[in-house]
């Protein structure tokens, strides 16, 4: 059986309890871990997730940065350890036998297959025709690469940098990742498993809020060209009609009377066609008719506003030379011995401080980019009496003389037998460094040379990058989500640049 982890980004919706129950009740091999990423604002109280008995001890809650599903999924898969990562949305319920079907879907896949997509089934009412909102949700059944139920190889996610965090909403971040995966020559295949996606409650103006996705369409075009819809299997949509209706309205309001009357007629006809199309497929109740008439009148203008906003942002990104890469971290945490300096066990002599090749250049690149840097270093020699706190401070001071100042320096003085929360691979040192820098842990990256550095980053929700040395075990290299040959190459990876 192929091992897998499950990643569930959540905004704290109570329906997630049904997901966990269904995941635990399904037959088949259990996930190695269930990683729930709390994507609520930092001021929200801790998320309470009570998994069913089969998932007890396997469920971990990670803190996201409240920046949307793309960023939350990045936190989750970077904390994963298995070779496959199965993504589920927090409002779906795995069908009976989901785990068995997932195992069958993943076992024996060719190496060039990077992803396996499960089907999404949306139950619609049988006693009446579905509402506009219900039909919108049912569109998930035809969506390509939807991460409502999608499993990816962790190595493939690492190779392309994961989800692009410039997509703050659902849907287009899925298409963007799928296009980048296929551009690398990998395949994404359909599986036999499926999940149930109930239609949740929505307010009267939900269709207008959904028009925000027009901004993401502008970014998709900027990143993948004008033919991205056909390659991603995305529907054409109504934006051109929305633009024509809005243009007609503008002419009707601003143009002289001979032009204003025909434009006003076109405006009314276009709005009427939009409303009639939306009404025709649904129940002709008074509430539904009211919603469709009001939102159809406003929709073309709202859609054009969001598209213009998205085009402006896409232009700024293009002017800055930003391609389809995740956003840069807001802070970088670094190990000391074996990462910044040649490893001298329990060094108490500042004269023996020797920076590794590429370290100064990498640190200077971070400084030029305005990214703060914090040292997070295990120093168990203090607990063992091999070095004193003043010796460690002197070595760190000499290191900064050679490499330039750091924004924070944190040291764990405990031995491995003390069970502290700060010694890596525990995340305490990284969490405290992020706090001091004023950056959410999910917006930090960690550069280190051993598996403990990577595990600490994953536990903190940070992005781990391994720079192996001769002392790094092969298993640690294989398990690292992202790797770089040198420190400056790791920095270039984080900055979305080519290494020098």
Residues recognised as catalytic = 335, 337
Sheet holding 444-448, edge to edge: 408-412, 373-378, 331-334, 444-448, 463-466
Q: Are 38 and 112 in contact (CB under 8 A)?
A: no
Give the side-chain half-sphere CA count within 13 A for 495.
22
* C-alpha distances out from residue 143 to 136, 148, 232, Å: 11, 10, 9
Beta strand segments in 232-372, E:
331-334
CA distance 463 to 38: 16
CA distance 354 to 63: 36
Backbone φ and ψ for 164, nearest 5 degrees, come out as -80, 115
Residues counted in the chain: 500
* DSSP-based helix, strand, coil % in the chain, nearest 5: 45, 15, 40
Give the side-chain half-sphere CA count within 13 A for 390.
0
Q: What is the CA angle 322-324-328, rounded to 5?
A: 60
Q: Are 228 and 314 in contact (CB under 8 A)?
A: no
Backbone φ and ψ for 2, nearest 5 degrees, come out as -75, 125
Q: Are 101 and 191 in contact (CB under 8 A)?
A: yes
Q: Residue 257, exposed/middle/buried by CB under 10 A (0-12, 13-18, 19+)?
A: exposed
Q: Would you tell me the crossing angle of helices 213-224 and 172-183 to the nearest 10 degrees? A: 10
Q: Are 487 and 356 in contact (CB under 8 A)?
A: yes
Question: 3-state DSSP call for residue 196?
Answer: strand
Beta strand segments in 358-442, E:
373-378, 408-412
Q: Would you tell me the crossing angle of helices 359-368 and 389-403 to the nearest 10 degrees? A: 70
The set of residues, in sequence order, having a beta carbon less than 8 Å from that of 325 and lying 6+ positions away, is: 161, 164, 496
C-alpha distance across the termini of the chain, in Å: 41
Sheet holding 187-196, edge to edge: 59-63, 34-38, 4-10, 84-88, 149-153, 113-121, 187-196, 93-94
């Amino acid at each position: 059986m192929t091992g897998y982890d499950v990643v569930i980004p959540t905004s704290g919706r109570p329906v997630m309890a049904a997901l966990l129950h269904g995941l635990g009740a399904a037959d088949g091999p259990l996930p190695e871990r269930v990683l729930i990423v709390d994507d609520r604002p930092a001021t929200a109280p801790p998320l309470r997730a009570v998994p069913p008995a089969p998932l007890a001890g396997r469920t971990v809650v990670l803190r996201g940065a409240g920046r949307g599903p793309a960023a939350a999924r990045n936190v989750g898969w970077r904390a994963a350890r298995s070779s496959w990562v199965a993504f589920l949305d927090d409002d779906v319920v795995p069908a009976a036998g989901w785990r068995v079907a997932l195992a069958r879907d993943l076992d024996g896949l060719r190496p060039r297959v990077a992803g396996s997509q499960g089907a999404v089934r949306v139950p619609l009412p049988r006693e009446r025709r579905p509402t506009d909102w219900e039909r919108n949700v049912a569109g998930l059944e035809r969506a390509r690469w939807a991460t409502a139920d999608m499993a990816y190889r962790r190595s493939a996610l690492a190779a392309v940098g994961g989800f692009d965090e410039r997509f703050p909403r659902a849907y287009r971040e899925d298409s963007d990742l799928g296009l980048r995966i296929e551009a690398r020559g990998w395949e994404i295949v359909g599986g036999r498993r499926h999940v149930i996606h109930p239609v949740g409650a929505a307010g009267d103006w939900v269709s207008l809020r959904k028009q925000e996705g027009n901004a993401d369409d502008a970014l998709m075009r900027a990143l993948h060209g004008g033919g991205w819809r056909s390659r991603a299997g995305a529907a054409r949509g109504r934006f051109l009609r929305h633009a024509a209706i809005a243009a007609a309205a503008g002419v009707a309001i601003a143009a002289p009377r001979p032009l204003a009357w025909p434009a006003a007629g076109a405006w009314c006809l276009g709005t009427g066609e939009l409303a009639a199309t939306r009404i025709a497929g649904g129940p002709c109740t008074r509430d539904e008719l009211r919603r469709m008439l009001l939102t159809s009148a406003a929709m073309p203008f709202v859609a054009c506003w969001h598209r213009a906003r998205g085009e402006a942002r896409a232009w700024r990104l293009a002017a800055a030379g930003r391609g389809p890469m995740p956003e840069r971290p807001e802070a970088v945490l670094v190990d000391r011995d074996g990462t910044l300096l040649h490893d001298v066990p329990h060094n108490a002599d500042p004269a023996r401080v020797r920076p590794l090749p590429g370290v100064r250049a990498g640190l200077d690149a971070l400084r030029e980019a305005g990214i703060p840097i914090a040292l997070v270093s295990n120093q168990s020699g203090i607990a063992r009496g091999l070095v004193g706190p003043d010796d460690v401070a002197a070595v760190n001071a000499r290191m900064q003389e050679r490499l330039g100042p750091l924004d924070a320096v944190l040291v764990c003085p405990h031995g491995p037998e003390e069970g502290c929360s700060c010694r890596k691979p525990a995340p305490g040192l990284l969490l405290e460094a992020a706090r001091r820098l004023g950056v959410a842990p999910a917006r930090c990256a960690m550069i280190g040379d051993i598996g403990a550095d990577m595990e600490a980053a994953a536990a903190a929700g940070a992005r781990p990058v391994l720079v192996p040395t001769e002392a790094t075990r092969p298993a640690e290299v294989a398990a690292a989500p992202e790797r770089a040959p040198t420190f400056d190459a790791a920095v270039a990876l984080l900055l979305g640049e080519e290494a020098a």
